């Protein structure tokens, strides 16, 4: 009996030591927690989606999902058989008067518009997890590193999952970031990691923040969840509407399909560009990650003129072939006469152009 007690005690101590590491961030407290408690989206000690959102769809169970993930035979194209094509654009020497979008793999991208720079969900480590040996990046897809990042006006975070909020990256670029835009609660992580309170623009759905050069950003709903430790939903998750003097962009963030897309389209659309999360999906978790057909419908709902699919091309966080998300969304988009823009990692997309030609670079 004594040995069992010792083993349990050691497990508890080891767990505490591991979860105390900086990478896991920290729980909101003090004034931040007070703000959360007053939020209409915070109930029963956690943030809530607008609609009931189970972790798994009907007909699926966690044991089955876990079995499939760890023991089911993997698709031979779960990971690419060659280096992912990429272009190492020099971000530091982009002319400031150019309006561009540059994808850096998965959900990381750089936007420069109307003289202002935005870096969204940068995960520039070679892994999308708290540990270096989990979720390693595909060869070639980890071309961009923190040292490639120029000074940025706004670092934008959609939620605190490891494949969107990367501790090594945000720590490495801290001196290059003027302000950080993030959903309510996420600022607790940033303050633990050395960011100053006056750098943080931390809000909830419906908030509008005025930025430089008459640009504004609106926090809009997403259907997802959050969490870096054992407890979920201690912080909010969000999408964004980014409006400049010349353009309107939708920054999707992770989201399952729901009525919020139509609401956003009716209230804020149409959009010149919508950056939509498309990848790492499974029918089992369709309520928190859109399937490709849902991405198409969501893009129609928000009235997007041009769709840029992200959330693929760098990590295998689901069981579909690595290139299936792009293949499916482009095929479905063509059937609806939609403009699906698919630049390579690092390829410059000129936001002032109307004609785009991209290669089908994901075909093996």
pLDDT tens digits for range 237-286: 999 999 999 999 999 999 999 999 999 999 999 999 999 999 999 999 99
- 153: enclosing H helix or E strand: strand 152-156
Task: Quote the pLDDT of residue 15.
Answer: 53
Q: Which tens digits make up the pLDDT trace of 100-124?
A: 999 999 999 999 999 999 999 999 9
- Mean pLDDT value of segment 187-203: 98
CA dist list (Å): 44 to 29, 39, 60, 138:
16, 12, 25, 39
Averaged pLDDT, 192-197: 97
The pLDDT value given to residue 231: 80
Q: pLDDT averaged over the chain?
A: 94
Residue 261 exposure: Cα atoms within 13 Å on the Cβ side: 25
Interval 11-28 mean pLDDT: 72
Cβ–Cβ under 8 Å, residues 252 and 276 = yes
pLDDT value at position 1?
62
Q: Can you give the pLDDT at residue 344? A: 97
Least confident of 10-19, 29-38, 217-226: 10-19
Nearest to 239 by CA among 213, 212, 267: 267
Which of the residue ranges 71-80, 308-317, 341-350 would you say has the lowest mean pLDDT? 71-80
- Over residues 206-231, mean pLDDT: 95
Q: Is the pLDDT of residue 3 over 60?
A: no
Section 128-133 average pLDDT = 84
């Amino acid at each position: 009996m004594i040995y069992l007690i010792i083993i349990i005690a050691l497990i508890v101590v080891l767990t505490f030591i591991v979860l105390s590491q900086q990478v896991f961030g920290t729980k909101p407290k003090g004034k931040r927690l007070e703000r959360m408690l007053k939020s209409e989206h915070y109930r029963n000690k956690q943030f809530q989606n607008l609609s009931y959102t189970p972790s798994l769809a009907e007909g699926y169970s966690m044991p089955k999902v876990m079995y499939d993930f760890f023991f089911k035979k993997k698709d031979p194209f779960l990971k690419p058989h060659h280096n992912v094509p990429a272009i190492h654009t020099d971000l530091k020497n982009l002319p400031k008067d150019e309006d561009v979008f540059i994808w850096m793999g998965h959900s990381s991208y750089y936007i420069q518009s109307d003289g202002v720079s935005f870096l969204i969900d940068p995960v520039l480590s070679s892994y999308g997890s708290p540990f270096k040996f989990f979720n390693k990046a595909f060869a070639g897809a980890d071309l961009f590193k923190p040292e490639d990042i120029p000074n940025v006006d706004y670092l934008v975070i959609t939620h605190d999952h490891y494949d969107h909020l990367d501790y090594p990256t945000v720590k490495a670029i801290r001196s290059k970031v003027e302000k950080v835009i993030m959903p309510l609660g996420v600022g607790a992580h940033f303050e633990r990691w050395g960011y100053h309170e006056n750098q943080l623009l931390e809000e909830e759905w419906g908030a509008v923040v005025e930025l430089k050069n008459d640009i504004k950003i609106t926090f809009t709903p997403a259907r997802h969840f959050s969490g870096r430790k054992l407890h979920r939903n201690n912080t909010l998750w969000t999408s964004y509407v980014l409006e400049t003097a010349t353009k309107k962009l939708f920054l999707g963030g992770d989201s399952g399909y729901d009525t919020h897309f139509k609401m956003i389209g009716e209230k804020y659309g149409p959009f010149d560009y919508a950056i939509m999360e498309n990848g790492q999906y499974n029918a089992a978790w369709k309520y928190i990650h859109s399937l490709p057909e849902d991405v198409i419908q969501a893009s129609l709902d928000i009235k997007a003129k041009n769709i840029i699919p992200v959330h693929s091309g760098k990590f295998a966080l689901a069981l579909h072939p690595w290139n299936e998300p792009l293949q499916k969304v482009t095929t479905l988009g063509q059937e609806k006469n939609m403009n699906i823009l698919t630049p390579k990692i690092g390829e410059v997309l000129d936001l002032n152009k109307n004609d785009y030609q991209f290669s089908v670079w994901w075909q093996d």
